[in-house]
Amino acid sequence: MKFKKFKAGIITLIGLAVINTVAATDYSSMTTEELMDLRYQASELSAEDRESLRSEMRGRIQTMTDDERASFQSMRGQGSGSGGGKQHRYGKR
């Protein structure tokens, strides 16, 4: 009797673990700032979650207004800086 309950408990735990790893996280309910914070933890996410995060960010960037995009780029450290954008191979000029 105890063995059957133990076996059922183990099967339930395995099932929940499988469901948890198969289902990608839904990032649509998060704010853009929360998503930006997650990019620093991307290496800890599963490949499926990273792709889901990337796709959500791409979709949001495409639907942003010019003002929102400028604000977003300044949050990321990008923008209209004074750099020439030149890259040199091996640091040589």
Q: Which residues of 70-93 are buried (b: 16+ CB within 10 A; e: fewer)?
A: eebeeeeeeeeeeeeeeeeeeeee
Tokens standing for residue 53: 């995060």
Q: Residue 52 belongs to what H/E stretch?
A: helix 47-63
The Cα–Cα gap between 22 and 76 comes to: 30
pLDDT of residue 80: 54
pLDDT band with cut points at 50, 70 and 90 for residue 84: low
pLDDT above 70 as % of the chain: 62
pLDDT of residue 87: 67
Tokens standing for residue 55: 């796709």
